[in-house]
Amino acid sequence: MNKIELDVNELLRIGIGDLLTKYPFVEIFLKNNGIELDPNSNRSMSELFESLDPQQKEDLALDQQRFAQQLGSYIEQMLSFLGGDQKKVESLTILPGHDKAGNVETFEQLRIRKNEVVSIVGPTGSGKSRLLADIEWAAQNDTPTGRSVLINGETPDRKWRYSSSEKLVAQLSQNMNFVMDLTVREFLELHAESRMVKNQAQIIDRIIDEGNKLAGEKFEPASPITALSGGQSRALMIADTAVLSGSPIILIDEIENAGIDRKKALNLLLAEEKIVLIATHDPALALLGDRRVVIKNGGIYKVIETTEEEKSILTEIERLDKRTQELRRRLRNGEKLIHGKER
């Protein structure tokens, strides 16, 4: 992906309010240079510069053009650090490698587009997690499977492989344990501050609200994250990933026993325009995907489109699943179950 380039003259013409809306972190740059501003002002950056006290401009040793160039460089660096261009990912393409025996995978290519869910199925140990790892690593024929991954049909930028700040992929695994001594709100504040988001309080409130829609049992903003159950932890991290993460691709590794509303979780991720891949043994999750990738002996054995007949079967599975969830809820609440009747 090409380096972000900002037009210096355009930066001088843009209104302060518009600039802060687009790049909220600019306020930090201006404050560090001793410039206080009104975020609601309609003045341009050029007008702001001209309004500065001559002595202040002399102390800053800046002329207008140099000021704009330094501001532009700062914005470029911050966008790079925050992964601001990652949402431009429209598709992920997997090119064939080989299975554990060295047999070449028989598919031509697997292209997955934004707002699509693909499930990955196969026996335990077949290689589902290896496929997820290839995608996370943006493999270039340099992993045990020999697969290659393209982004938007092209070889991905090296930063997506090696940069700690620009993650192409966010992975949600079946094992999530917090070790930090923070409340839910403090944890989310830390993440929001690291991404320098605007309207931090509203974003955090939304994540907590969305997380509680997914969790079997609600948690409070003041709850210690180390005290959350497995299901609550996964619900929180799915909501956080959907709302706050800049990663355009989400890999989910076996969440069927996570104690969360799986369909709501997928809908939340898709609403944020993510590419979603799920490794699962759960038939309901497998059929929720638009396609499913079948793994056998470490290789991609086949790719199957979900048919209309399978979608009708999914409706029956969901009905049975809802019934099971209700029975589980009643047992947890101390109610007795009687055949054909619960009380």
Please list the pLDDT of the chain residue by residue as tens digits (343 residues): 334 446 777 777 887 777 777 777 777 777 777 777 666 667 887 787 777 777 766 766 667 777 778 788 877 777 665 554 444 788 999 999 999 999 999 999 999 998 899 999 999 899 998 998 999 888 999 999 999 999 999 998 776 676 655 678 888 876 666 667 889 999 998 888 777 777 888 999 999 999 999 887 889 999 998 888 888 888 898 899 888 887 888 888 866 555 677 788 888 888 888 899 989 888 888 898 899 999 999 999 999 999 999 999 989 988 888 888 788 878 888 888 887 655 4
In whole angstroms, give the CA distance from residue 29 to residue 274: 31
Residues 188 and 216 placed together within one structural domain of the fold: yes
Instruction: Give the whole-angstrom CA distance, residue 52 versus residue 74.
Output: 20
Split into its structural domains, the chain has a count of: 3
**pLDDT confidence of residue 169:** 84
pLDDT at 4: 41
Return the axis-axis angle of helices 230-243 and 200-214, rounded to nearest 10°: 140
Rounded to the nearest 5°, which phi and psi values hold at 294? -95, 125
**Pairing mode of beta strands 291-296, 117-121:** parallel
Are 183 and 244 in the same domain?
A: yes
Domain containing residue 266: CATH number: 3.40.50.300
Last residue of a domain, one of 35, 56, 82: 82
Same domain, 138 and 161: yes
> Are residues 152 and 173 part of one domain?
yes
141 and 56 in a common domain: no
Q: Is 343 exposed, middle or buried (0-12, 13-18, 19+ CB in 10 A)?
A: exposed
Residue 3 belongs to some domain of the structure: no
Domain housing 20: 8-82
Residue in the block written with tokens 């600039």? 19
Residue 1 lies in a domain: no
- Same structural domain, 44 and 71: yes
- pLDDT at position 204 is 93
Whether residue 66 is contained in a domain is answered as yes
DSSP structure string for 262-296: HHHHHHHHHHTT-EEEEE-S-HHHHHHSSEEEEEE
**Does residue 172 sit in the same domain as residue 66?**
no
Do both 285 and 145 map to the same domain?
A: yes
In a domain, 23, yes or no: yes
Do residues 162 and 134 share a domain? Answer: yes
Tell me whether residue 291 is in a domain. Answer: yes
Distances (CA, A) of 66 to 21, 69, 78, 83, 258: 23, 5, 18, 26, 54
**What pLDDT sits at residue 25?**
73
Instruction: Return d(Cα 235, Cα 237) in angstroms, integer.
Output: 6
Q: What is the pLDDT of residue 41?
A: 67
- Judge contact between 200 and 269, C-beta under 8 A: no
Angle at which helix 200-214 crosses helix 184-194, to 10 degrees, equals 130
pLDDT of residue 221: 93
Boundary residue ending a domain (19, 50, 82): 82
Which two structure tokens, joined as six digits, stand for 76?
Answer: 């470029």
2 in a structural domain = no
* Contacts of residue 266, Cβ cutoff 8 Å, sequence gap at least 6: 117, 276, 278, 288
Regarding whether 253 and 107 lie in a shared domain, the answer is: yes
Answer yes or no: do 55 and 149 share one domain. Answer: no
CA dist 130 and 112 (Å) reads 18
